[in-house]
Amino acid sequence: MIRIRIEGGRAAQAEHAARQYADRYLGLSAAERRWYAQLRVDPYTNNEVLRRAVKRLARIDAAASFGVRFAPLGVPFAGEVRRALDAIYNEDPAVLRKRRHEALAGFGLSASEMEGFENALLLTPTRQTLLVDAVQGLEGVEGRAELLRHAAAVTAEDEIEVFLSSTCLLLHFHSRTPVARVLAGLRVPTAQRADGHVMVFGAFDDVQWTEDVAAYEHAIREALPGDAGVRELWLAGSASPRAHDALAQLGWETHDGVEGTLGCASSEALAGTAVPLGLRRSGRGPSAP
């Protein structure tokens, strides 16, 4: 009897989470998607004023032959963002959700892990699409599903933005220098090459050597596997001279300012959008994990 009650409670919680997610993200009409596409804005923006305006325009659009159309803003999105947004703009949300579900099953996630990922409120459909596309781009890499498991567990807006940007760094690094596996248990994407080299990717604008950063470095180092070889830190932004020296003394090779080198979108490129797209760096610096 107790087991039945527990299982019934879990089922009710899962149903509530799914309904909450659907109410928030899956109610876009085709007319609304067309307006977001014209504006080149993420349809799942948390800008409520913009969302209400688009909803009103969509109603007018549906009720009459409303001929005014906005020209695209021409913002230079990263390729990953553009592909994700094109899918969001042009396809039914339920169809995209089904496709993502099938992809998640193919990555080896359990039913409960898939459920947690699909209903995580911080993971908008756009962010889910970006993450699923990134993991698909890591085909053949052991442990790639760890990126999805971690993303589903993130509870802070700034942390998920950093994680998405850092995943972009990993994906573009892999396209140039293949990695063998993604390591679990770290709060930023971390991978290992076949030769044992470990790469930690951090989408931080600026890294200063502080007590908090030193503690964070220690936690990362302790979480690395015993067979870790050369340790490399790949930063989107820059590390201070003091941080460079301290990291070198601890055995790190630091590569900073790599966003352009690896071909990811810069914060300046994304700053022209009407709202954050989820691939912008958090701006909180190195204290954000």
pLDDT computed for residue 67 by the predictor: 33
Nearest to 122 by CA among 151, 81, 149, 91: 151
pLDDT computed for residue 183 by the predictor: 97
pLDDT computed for residue 37 by the predictor: 78
pLDDT computed for residue 79 by the predictor: 63
- Give the C-alpha separation, 229 to 192, whole Å: 9
Q: Which two tokens stand for residue 189?
A: 């994407």
For 98-132, what is each residue's pLDDT tens digit? 999 999 999 999 999 999 999 998 898 888 988 99
User: For 72, what's the count of Cα atoms within 13 Å in the CB-facing half-sphere?
Assistant: 10
Nearest to 141 by CA among 116, 185, 173: 173
- Domain-by-domain residue ranges, the chain? 2-287
For 122-172, what is each residue's pLDDT tens digit? 898 888 988 999 999 999 999 999 999 999 999 888 888 889 889 989 999
